[in-house]
Amino acid sequence: MYARFLPFLKILGASKVVVMTVPAAIPLLGQMDCIDQLTNLTEEGPGHECDYWIGSLSLPYYIDCSPNYAKNLFPIKNDKVVASEGYLDAVPSGIERKIGVNWSASKGALRWIKSISAEEMNGLVGDDAYSLNPESDGVFRPLPDDGWKKDWSITAKHMKAMKGVVTVDTGTAHLAGALGVKCVVLLPQESFICWRWKNARWYDSVVTLRQDEYHKLPELIRRM
């Protein structure tokens, strides 16, 4: 979600940008020219040779505090966040063009609150869709067993070939937005909606639905 802000570091004069991330994201982020090195090492290696560290979620704050020559290249407004039209890319795979679905949020404190059941997702979209859930296919079509569950760049290729994606609030939604793939995000109950979805429009291709708006999903899928 915040990789779009990494070029800002080079604009400010960083001579070398090292990104520490999980192995599954390294092939996908490797396409960004502003990144000099990617690593998943946390106790040693290139990350420890740097003279400054910053969390990616803090980048927008530093942009807002930067000189105008840099800030003007990265406009951050509620109605549109910079590069929201898709800042990563992938070559579409050869799968049949269908909808992709993910009903399970990433593991964490709010996982079960953000997730819905496979049966509820089936009732909303039908079973003629691909499963983008790395833990289970449920009643949906499985994607090719080509390593996509451990490599976001392979997942990206499959998503680029899809008509669109329907997902709960999890990494699937952000990958779709980063690729410019049409996506509908099914949000949890109001008190548990993430501040990011409440306070800004992050992606041109993503539509969010609150629980009382789920009935709009069939029409959004038809438009996909």
- The string of pLDDT tens digits covering residues 156-184 is 999 999 999 999 999 999 999 999 999 99
Query: 201 and 79 in contact (C-beta within 8 Å)?
Result: yes
Predicted model pTM: 0.93
Fold topology of 99-223: Rossmann fold (3.40.50)
The amino acid that residue 108 corresponds to is G
Query: 58 and 5 in contact (C-beta within 8 Å)?
Result: no
Q: Give the start-to-end residue ranges of the domains of the chain.
A: 3-74, 99-223
Nearest one of 153, 203, 196 to 178, comparing CA atoms: 203
Q: Given a cut of 90, is residue 79 above it in pLDDT? A: no
- Cβ burial of 115 (10 Å; 0-12, 13-18, 19+) is buried
